[in-house]
Amino acid sequence: MNRQINRQSLPRTVNLKAVLVVIVLFLLLVNILIFQLGKTHLEWFAENGVVENIEVGFLVLASLVFAYAYRSCHTRSIALCSVVVCLGFILREVDVEDFELPAWVIFVGSGTGRNIILAVLVVIAMISFVKEMNYEKMLLLLKSYFAVCLYMVFCFLLCSWLFDKAVFDFAYNLLGEELSESSAYLLILTASIIYTFEYHRR
């Protein structure tokens, strides 16, 4: 029998809908505050600056939560795919070639080496996902709170891309790009925590 998400089995103290609402409101308030402060502190948003380091921190924490969830949750392929996605974003944000690291680490973390490793991991994750998922599980996934987080992540990453390409006639495209990215990565961390509750093995 296929295991399903049973929201009634969640701890009574955990209201996932309330968690999402609080996170969204928190993001709005923090983004407004940081945007106002960031206009006079653009160095925060530089390459390998404070904001990018915070973004990497969100992604590392999310990876650890998903890795834990892989052992404690059913539908494990979702956790595996999520870890691979987080790793891809981490390698995108961290310019390993700027650090004094062994040549093999730089090869693995940048350029062709990074692309090959990520491609292999994506193939493994997708094979696992296709093997484990069926129509019923996919339907439950698309309606889950975890998926709602991912929809918001997509919207923030889309905004980040638009700011990066200067699609908007906006004087602070860099701020918009980095704030959108940091919001997306915080939501990925939120999604990892929600996933552990929604898909916890009963």
Of 145, 139, 150, 146, nearest to 4 by C-alpha is 139
* The residue to which tokens 């997509």 are assigned: 154
Helices (H), the chain: 16-38, 50-72, 76-93, 103-109, 111-132, 135-142, 145-164, 173-198
Query: Tens of pLDDT along the chain (202 residues)?
Result: 444 444 444 444 457 777 778 888 888 888 888 888 777 777 787 777 788 889 999 999 999 999 998 887 778 899 999 999 999 999 888 877 777 778 888 887 777 888 899 999 999 999 999 999 888 889 988 988 899 999 999 999 999 999 988 887 777 888 888 889 999 999 999 999 999 887 765 4
> Treating both helix axes as pointing N-terminal to C-terminal, what angle do 145-164 and 135-142 enclose, rounded to 10 degrees?
60
Compute the distance between CA of residue 69 and CA of residue 195 in angstroms, rounded to an integer: 8
The torsion defined by the Cα of 46, 162, 83 and 52, in degrees rounded to 10, comes to 10
Cβ-based neighbours of 23, under 8 Å, separated by 6 or more? 186, 187, 190
Q: What is the pLDDT of residue 3?
A: 46
Specify the pTM.
Answer: 0.83
| Sign of the dihedral through C-alpha 18, 19, 22, 23 | negative
Q: What is the pLDDT of residue 10?
A: 44
Of 169, 147, 167, 170, nearest to 158 by C-alpha is 167
